[in-house]
Amino acid sequence: MAKIHNDIKKLLAEKPFTLVELAEALEKSEKKVYNALKKLFSDGDIDSDPKTRTYSLAKK
């Protein structure tokens, strides 16, 4: 797994984040973070809340 995926999961372990908040925290472009989020979501590692537009770790 790419470093960005691990970094995102570490942040989401603390609290839910929006795409913009994740991009700022990781100092990466929103596009790069969004692509990583899509992969994590399709793998079932994260959940998204359409109302708040936040991402969080999946409850496994």
| Distance separating alpha carbons of residues 17 and 21, to the nearest angstrom | 6
- CATH number for position 13: 1.10.10
pTM of the model: 0.92
In a domain, 28, yes or no: yes
pLDDT (average), residues 18-36: 97
- Domain region containing 21: 3-45
pLDDT at 11: 97
* Whole-number Cα distances in Å, 25 to 42, 52, 60: 22, 18, 25
Structurally, how many domains does the chain consist of?
Answer: 1
Nearest residue to 8 (alpha-carbon basis) of 20, 25, 30: 25
| Distance separating alpha carbons of residues 51 and 39, to the nearest angstrom | 21
Q: How does the average pLDDT of the chain come out, rounded? A: 95
pLDDT at 59: 84
